[in-house]
Structure 1
Amino acid sequence: MVLRVHPARLPGMDLHPVRRAGGANRRRESKLNMTSTLKASSETTMALSPIEDILEELKAGRMVVLVDDEDRENEGDFVCSAEHVNVDMINFMTRIGGGYLCVALAGEACDRLDLSPQAAVNTSLRTTPFTVSVDGHPRHGVGTGISASDRVTTIKLLAEPDSRPDDFVRPGHINPLRARDGGTLVRTGQTEGSVDLMRLAGLKPAAVIIEIVRPDGEMARMPDLEAICAEHDLKMCSVEQVIEHRLARESLVERVEPLQGTPIETPHGTFTLHAYRSAIDPQPHIALVVGELDSGEPTLVRVQRRDLLGDIFDATDRPTGRQLRACLRQLQEAGRGVLVYLRPEHMGDGLLDQLQSIQRPGHDDPDQPDLTRSDGVAARSRPIEERELGTGSQILRDLGLSKLRLLTNSPRPYPGLHGYGLEIVEHVPIEVEDTDRS
């Protein structure tokens, strides 16, 4: 297969087709004055567009802006479909966006193209799923790989379902990102959000994304993003909206029989156990419930990932078992609440990573990240990822919860949580007592 892309020869730099009043399409010359582009006007009030409008933009080959939610402090990315990208879009994204140009891909494409992880152990703050960088092979007309036309060729090759590993050379100038299976219903990142948007629009599951940076080098925030969208006639949506749109039509978790749950006796009291099956992982997850959950009042909640060494063997340098017992006790004392206990997705128990990480001291975080995973030693090999909240959130949603009193010793924001219909109204400290230590 040979794929060549020739840059359009147009006056100035054309951005992308946009709408004209009355429905006629036109092409608009983009403005390259970055300072004026990024002036955040206090009078700018741009609501997020409905997802249906965003999907129409993407189908028509236009660019959009994607943020986490409506919070004014959120960052944003330019997003367009890989199959529709052109030289003008690349020039616009790199000059106006100014971030790190990436291509978000479905996991199947990464496997087919042999795009291995960039790092054997991902210790980045948000576990951003970079793969090895690539350029299109010279037989496709790619030169150094850095020009806009070379990048377009490489990107379109990545999106092509018939592409093979030997269609690329490594390393290169295009940075693929591997979206998690299950998309935003598993991880609430821009990577998953952009791929979800492509699928929802009926396009190939490959998206070009780049962070939007201000001229002073800091990340653009919502007022800046609103000004950019107004100037360049772009529509904006949030990952939260993508989650809401998907949840209205699908779910990745299913409660299994018996639906009413199974009573179990523990040293801390009686709980009702509910088991859940995930569409993307064969391992079941469980929820331990105490009291009635349908009162509408805020509910005490703990979400914790299984940690074999800490939970079962009570390893002294791993706090998870002690925290787990403390949470069960606090739930019983409250008389009403839920503990969601998750199996690590696609990781078994993560035991091998944990054993390796024990040899790398100095990276412990004594606090347990919630709605994500257990940490302790495991945090050394896989850092806190506040975006990985999808499975636990869907379980809480299925149990009828909306307002959460979250048991945690490390309060943090959870981007996209509102998309699941959930709100954290209080952070409740985990109180480990001597009786919880064995």
Structure 2
Amino acid sequence: MLPHTDLPLPSFSSTTTALEHISSSQLPTPWAVFKIHVFIEPATQKEHVMLTLGDVAGEEPILARIHSECLTGDALFSLRCDCGPQLQLALERIAQEGKGALLYLRQEGRGIGLANKIRAYKLQDEGADTVEANERLGFPADMRRFDMCKDMLDFMGIKRVRLMTNNPRKVKTLEDIGIEVSERIAHQIEDNPYNKNYLNTKRLRLGHMLVSD
């Protein structure tokens, strides 16, 4: 049973505009040569990315990761979160398996955008946790959506996944939109002095399935 959380789960509408596939190409990385697929969301003009390795279409459960954009963690190596190491670990795991998919969603700062994320960082510097900081700025704790994953997975013919995540909302969302999650694979990164409180907040206030020290 998934942990209880009093935060509202994302709502989804059957009228959601489908993503449009733009193009695909090879993407060599330190772990493997992936194939990169770019999609655009007409309603928001956001561009989402999917990396695949091997033949992922069919009934076999595919190792997968849903990862939301984090410029500070993914590209600038910030230690305030666990995003960058999670991204790299997911790619490494997929490469070791020889098959899998990573969905990279453009929803920075749990959906509030980069500028507001840095404003939230300032509030955190002053003592607020990540949930309190978002709320003081007038936002919910987590504004991310995952319903667009359905179009991306359907495009690749993926019906079942073994999902690398600590977030029960991602599991529930995929199940709600018709993607079977045959297994949840823990995806926890070792903490550091800069992100310990961040990880504790995810565990205690957002219901993430993290093992505490």
TM-score (norm 1): 0.36
- Contact 1:256 1:277 (C-alpha < 8 Å) held by counterparts: yes
What is the one-letter code of the residue matched to 2:129?
H
Q: What percentage of aligned pairs have identical amino acids?
A: 25
Deviation of residue 360 (structure 1)? 2.6
The Cα offsets for residues 60-84 of structure 1, whole Å up to 9 and x where unpaired, read as: xxxxxxxxxxxxxxxxxxxxxxxxx
Picking from 384, 394, 419, the partner of 2:142 is: 384
The yes-or-no answer on 1:427 pairing with 2:184 is yes
After TM superposition, which residue ranges in structure 1, 4 or more long, deviate above 6 angstroms?
377-380
Partner of 1:312: 75
Partner SS for 2:148: helix
What is the one-letter code of the residue matched to 1:301?
A
The yes-or-no answer on 1:188 pairing with 2:11 is yes
* Pairs aligned (count): 179
- Contact 2:86 2:189 (C-alpha < 8 Å) held by counterparts: yes
Partner of 1:363: 129
Residue ranges of structure 1 left out of the alignment (5+ in a row): 1-123, 128-186, 194-242, 366-376, 434-438
Q: For the residues of structure 1 that align with 2:44 and 2:176, how far apart are their CA atoms?
A: 22
Deviation of residue 309 (structure 1)? 1.1
Alignment of 1:5-84 (within 5 A): none
Taking a change above 3 Å as real, the CA distance of residues 253 and 413 of structure 1, as seen in their structure-2 partners, is closer
- Contact 2:68 2:107 (C-alpha < 8 Å) held by counterparts: yes
Higher relative contact order (CA 8 A, sep 6+): 2
Taking a change above 3 Å as real, the CA distance of residues 414 and 294 of structure 1, as seen in their structure-2 partners, is closer
TM-score (norm 2): 0.71
Alignment of 1:37-436 (within 5 A): 125-126=7-8, 188-189=11-12, 193=13, 243=14, 246=15, 251-257=17-23, 261-344=24-107, 350-361=113-124, 362-364=128-130, 382-384=140-142, 388-412=145-169, 415=172, 417-418=174-175, 420-430=177-187, 432=189
Q: For the residues of structure 1 that align with 2:64 and 2:52, how far apart are their CA atoms?
A: 9
Partner SS for 2:152: helix
Residue ranges of structure 2 left out of the alignment (5+ in a row): 1-5, 191-213
Taking a change above 3 Å as real, the CA distance of residues 431 and 330 of structure 1, as seen in their structure-2 partners, is farther
Q: For the residues of structure 2 that align with 1:364 and 1:397, how far apart are their CA atoms?
A: 33
- Contact 1:255 1:274 (C-alpha < 8 Å) held by counterparts: yes
Taking a change above 3 Å as real, the CA distance of residues 392 and 338 of structure 1, as seen in their structure-2 partners, is same
What is the one-letter code of the residue matched to 1:391?
M
Q: For the residues of structure 2 that align with 1:411 and 1:348, how far apart are their CA atoms?
A: 17
Structure showing greater radius of gyration is 1
What is the one-letter code of the residue matched to 2:18?
L
Deviation of residue 305 (structure 1)? 1.3
What is the one-letter code of the residue matched to 2:11?
T
Partner of 1:12: none
Taking a change above 3 Å as real, the CA distance of residues 317 and 292 of structure 1, as seen in their structure-2 partners, is same
Q: For the residues of structure 2 that align with 1:428 and 1:349, how far apart are their CA atoms?
A: 27
Taking a change above 3 Å as real, the CA distance of residues 411 and 271 of structure 1, as seen in their structure-2 partners, is same
